A and B are shown apart, each in its own frame.
Chain A
Amino acid sequence: GQQVMQIPQYQHVQEGEDFTTYCNSSTTLSNIQWYKQRPGGHPVFLIQLVKSGEVKKQKRLTFQFGEAKKNSSLHITATQTTDVGTYFCAGPDNYGQNFVFGPGTRLSVLP
Chain B
Amino acid sequence: DAMVIQNPRYQVTQFGKPVTLSCSQTLNHNVMYWYQQKSSQAPKLLFHYYDKDFNNEADTPDNFQSRRPNTSFCFLDIRSPGLGDAAMYLCATSRADSGETDTQYFGPGTRLTVL
Q: In the complex, how many angstroms separate the beta carbon of B60 from the nearest chain A beta carbon?
A: 12
Distance between Cα atoms of A97 and B57 in the complex (Å): 12
Q: In the complex, how many angstroms separate the beta carbon of B113 from the nearest chain A beta carbon?
A: 15
The answer on a CB contact under 8 Å between A92 and B100 is: yes
Distance between Cα atoms of A47 and B62 in the complex (Å): 34
Distance between Cα atoms of A90 and B106 in the complex (Å): 14
Interface residues of chain B: helix, strand, loop or mixed (majority): strand
Query: Smallest CB-CB separation from A100: which chain B residue?
Result: B45
Contact of B99 among A35, A44, A96 (CB under 8 A): A96
Residues of A within 8 A of B (CB): 30, 33, 35, 41-45, 48, 88, 90, 92, 95-99, 101-104, 106
**20 A-B pairs in the complex with CB atoms less than 8 angstroms apart:** A33-B103, A33-B104, A41-B108, A42-B90, A42-B106, A42-B108, A42-B109, A43-B43, A43-B90, A43-B104, A45-B105, A45-B106, A88-B42, A88-B43, A95-B99, A97-B99, A98-B45, A99-B101, A99-B104, A103-B41
Residues of B within 8 A of A (CB): 31, 33, 40-43, 45, 48, 50, 55, 88, 90, 92, 96, 99-101, 103-109
